[in-house]
Amino acid sequence: MNIGRVSGILLHITSLPGRFGIGDLGPEATGFVDFLASAGQKLWCLLPLSPTGPENSPYQCRSAFAGNPLLISPQRLEEHGYLSRRDLRSAPQFPSSYVDYPAVRKFKENLLRRAFHSFSKTRDYLQFEQSHSWWLESHAQFMALREVNGGVSWTEFESSKTARPEALLYHKFVQYEFSRQWQELRKYCARRNVAIMGDMPFYLEHNSADVWSNQSLFDLQKNGESKSVGGVPPDYFSKDGQLWGTPTYRWDRMEQTEFQWWINRFRATLEMVDLLRLDHFRGFEAYWKVDAKEKTAKKGRWVKGPGARLFKRLEKELGELPIVAENLGTITPDVEELRQRFGFPGMAVLQFGFDEFGTHRPNNYVREQASFTGTHDNDTTVGWWRSLQRSAHEHRNGDGREILHRAKSYLQTNGEQIHWAFIQAIMTSVANIAVLPLQDILGLGSEARMNLPGRAKGNWRWRYEEKQIQKSTIERLRDLTLVSGRSKNS
């Protein structure tokens, strides 16, 4: 994979500003692309775009192929003639700094229903329906059956209740409109010379169209409930490990189909993005399997995954795979051997670089690597630094004092504007890809953290406000991008 020496910003669509309660694929998205281009950035790094489950995590998706309806832009619906300006003026006063998901979901659902009444099948729609029927039909069926069954899990669907034709068409329309808006945004990114780095979750939500329609491919009981679920053992983020509640795969059955479901999944995702971060890459080599009855992830075991057999099949069908492998956490030599065999760049996260081993410090980076100051699972750099300072001041954490000392010595900083010290360290490193969460560019604290692993509620809500991006910030980032050789103008 030869993407060259570039840098980009990590920001999920939901975190964009705007008056409709959540970031979407409308004018604020193209405005953010303009910001990226003006600051010399070549990558926009996103979290997964699929419909989310009950706690709004983009890593617990209701579909491997569908788009999240909450990301559809009301303004683009109005421009396309589905809605009127009066419809848009009906929007309530939403919070500007975070997503109120229940309120947004209610508003967006009503708006999409209203737009649907103005929709009629066009040639473009019919082409979309035909070319995507292999997943669209089952997705629409699943969503329509959820509606008629009052939103319960598919294991509780009543056989006497069937999906209404109008409901099926509505859910197809929603996916058509998501696809139309996404393709418009992607074309705009291409015109501004900004590539999109997408993200593929390893697992899917149990209550999803894919598990419902492909039950034999997942480790389920006879009644459809999960037999085993995925997660990770105790680690940096959680002393109890992380119990994701997502059903594990029946890899033996998937291999009998020559991994067709995975081929379809990769093909569909790579048609939407230019580069793909493969979340929980180590799960393809071995995954942490926990009995579904357990309350924490402590009592699990490592089980071998498909490894090279899957990726050889993917390469045969799809050619070279533009993948960045998320190789964080408990990584064994077998995982690294698998990654290196297929030439997938790994990841480095600077916040992890100041333990006694220092494997995530820039002096240990290689060119074929994606370096991050932090990810969506980390605290912001400023929040992380303040937390270490508090621990050191209160003499509760000797490790914290040592990490502070190492970071100050390595970065030659007293901690003032620590976020820019981090940014400079990875931008000037040899790693071909440097990724900066927008929170770090803006110097925000823990209030802007996107996700706290192990915490079930209250994640994925942060949004920035347009006024927070100052001209001086754009100039500083652009200058650093130029001198570090990450811009075509350098």
Q: Of 235, 213, 234, 192, nearest to 146 (Cα)?
A: 213
Tokens 């099926």 label which residue?
168
Sequence-separated (6 or more) residues with CB below 8 Å from residue 273 = 46, 196, 197, 198
Which of 78, 205, 377, 379 is labelled catalytic?
377
The C-alpha torsion from 134 through 137 and 140 to 141, rounded to 10°, is -120
Q: Does residue 250 contact residue 287 with C-beta atoms inside 8 Å?
A: no
| CB 351, CB 373: distance < 8 Å | yes
CA distance 320 to 352: 30
Distance from C-alpha of 360 to C-alpha of 351, rounded to nearest angstrom: 8
**Location of structure tokens 């914290």:** 400
Residue 290 and residue 299 in contact, taking contact as beta carbons nearer than 8 Å: yes
Query: Does the annotation mark 466 as catalytic?
Result: no
Name which of 308, 311, 346 is nearest 327 in CA terms: 346
Rounded Cα distance between 269 and 4, Å, is 22
- Active site residue: 129, 279, 379, 440, which one? 279
In this structure, the number of other CB atoms found within 10 A of the CB of residue 177 comes to: 25
Q: Is 326 a catalytic residue?
A: yes
The question of whether 337 is a catalytic residue gets the answer no
Among 177, 210, 326, 440, the one annotated catalytic: 326
Positions marked catalytic: 279, 326, 377
